[in-house]
Amino acid sequence: MANSKLNVDGVLLLEQPFVRVPYENYRKIFRTSQRNVEKELGPLQTTSNDLVSKARTGTLTSDEALKSVDGMIGRVESLKRKLSDLNENAGKPTLDVMRERLEHLATIESIQNTTEPEFSRWADTRLDRWLVDWTLRNGKERTAKRIARDKDIQTLVDIDLFSDIKRIEDALARHSCTEALAWCSENKAALRKIKSTLEFELRLQEFIELARQRRNVEAIAYTKKHLVQWQETHFEEIKRASALFAFPPTTTCGPYKRLYDVTRWSNLIRSFRLAIYSLNTLPNEPLLHLTLYAGLASLKLPACFDIHTKNVDCPVCDGESAALSAATNKDVTMTSASTGVTPDDAATYSPQSAITSPSTSTSGSLPLVGSIGSPVSAAQPLGLGKLAEEVPFSHHANSTIVCRITGKIMDEDNMPMAFPKGQVYSLEAMQEMAAKNDNIVTCPRTGETCAFSQLRKVFIS
């Protein structure tokens, strides 16, 4: 039971965005309420002070006082309706979402072991949440809504947030900054707190579009209205952009050609996504990927990406890939050096070997999937192998090799036996083959044939 004890802190490690998103929504609702109150209370205070002043000087008539009081009552009633509607349509539903999510997380506090049925149910719900997160990040909104509806987890997923993200990103893809700037205005204080430059980038892009259309007068007016306020922190960018008046969109001059480059819109989409993820403490990767990375890193070996050494039972070997790159081949040579086996002879790795290995650990940061500089071959593996492609290789203090014939781990009780040319198989497999073939064994890969007595033992270190 000790091994099945639930690590609550570890389980909750990835759950910060789960609570943070509705919290941020409620903060926006609170700020909207605050603005409404301030907007209405200002005139009320002014009218009240005027009434008091006129009453003291004796210039206030009863009709004027009655009219002013009626106006004040009307303003208060209007404010009450606004706040009531805001609370009913946004505040209360958001509080209900927060309550359900906190109750969902509180369930884990009462679970002691991972073997309990309650944990299995909770984990299934968590997996459903992560699947919805993955589908939303990949633009499959209808699928996400279907999963959420079928699993009855609408309050536990952030469909509305990702719908807003998609709406704004679609607008940026159409070369429109209007929606993104409106979002920046709503979140100005939060963006300033994380030192985001998204609003400036959007304003600069709008200026560039005016320059592209040669609407110079409007571009100058736009600079005075929106860009001058950024000159303390972005003076060089503003100065460089101002020179666009002298360069047409077809210019071949490097700095200005880059400013006119339409790929800047893709960069804006990326910047917006990073900003909104940061405000909601959402990771840049799907939560499903992050949880898979740790397990895949503990299983990943260079042999997983060599078509000759793949293991059908290994999730990292899932999919098709070409031969290893030069860097990966070097890793194979280092891994197999202690066994005396050449890189081409490295035995297939089994998931079980990672579990039973005396020491398994990983190190290094996790680069984004698809990033440049992967140590793996240019051919992209499919399935889980695609995710594993970017995680570090697992480190084993002692080599663990598996027989290609029997699929069993080779150890002191089942010694690795090497053919004269270096191919290695288990003692059990060789004995069985020799018993059936008059003490003659044949390498299934190379076709090499020799007597069983010619095989030599390989010692694992």
Q: Judge whether residue 341 has pLDDT over 60.
A: no
User: Which has more pLDDT, 341 or 180?
Assistant: 180
42 band by pLDDT with thresholds 50, 70 and 90: confident
3-state secondary structure of 361: strand
pLDDT band at 402 (very low <50, low <70, confident <90, very high): confident
More confident: 2 or 403: 403
The answer to whether residue 371 scores a pLDDT higher than 70 is no
Higher per-residue pLDDT: 460 or 143: 143
- Residues of the chain with pLDDT > 70, as a percent, come to 85
Runs of H (alpha helix) within 58-116: 62-86, 92-107
Most confident of 101-110, 318-327, 381-390: 101-110
DSSP 364: S
Q: What is the pLDDT of residues 133-164, one digit of tens each?
A: 999 999 999 999 999 999 999 999 999 999 99
Where do the domains of the chain lie? Answer: 2-115, 159-279, 287-396, 416-457
Over residues 196-235, the pLDDT tens digits come to 999 999 999 999 999 999 999 999 999 999 999 999 999 9
- Per-residue pLDDT reduced to its tens digit, 276-308: 999 998 999 999 998 888 888 888 888 787 777
* pLDDT at residue 165 is higher than 70: yes
Q: Work out the average pLDDT over 21-31.
A: 90
Inform me whether the pLDDT recorded for 313 exceeds 80.
no
Do residues 178 and 199 lie in contact, with contact meaning Cβ atoms separated by under 8 Å? no
What pLDDT was estimated at residue 328?
41
Chain-wide mean pLDDT for the chain? 82
Q: How far is CA 363 from CA 156, 262, 296, 455, in A?
A: 33, 38, 13, 38
| Most confident segment among 63-72, 264-273, 451-460 | 264-273
- Which residue has better confidence, 344 or 166? 166
Q: Is the per-residue pLDDT at 43 higher than 70?
A: yes
Does residue 339 contact residue 424 with C-beta atoms inside 8 Å? yes
In this prediction, residue 9 has a pLDDT band, given cuts at 50, 70 and 90, of confident
Least confident of 62-66, 165-169, 316-320: 316-320
Q: Is residue 325 predicted with pLDDT exceeding 80?
A: no
Q: How far is CA 247 from CA 216, 372, 411, in A?
A: 12, 33, 72
Lowest mean pLDDT among 85-89, 249-253, 361-365: 361-365
Of residues 26 and 306, which shows the higher confidence score?
A: 26
- Given pLDDT bands bounded at 50, 70 and 90, which one contains residue 349? very low
The residues with which 425 forms a beta bridge, in sequence order, are 417
Residues 6+ apart with CB under 8 A from 300: 316, 388, 391, 392, 393, 394
339 pLDDT higher than 90: no
- State the pLDDT at residue 461: 67
Q: CA distances (Å), 364 to each of 12, 59, 245, 340, 399, in order?
A: 23, 79, 47, 28, 21
Q: How far apart are alpha carbons 197 and 175 in whole angstroms?
A: 18
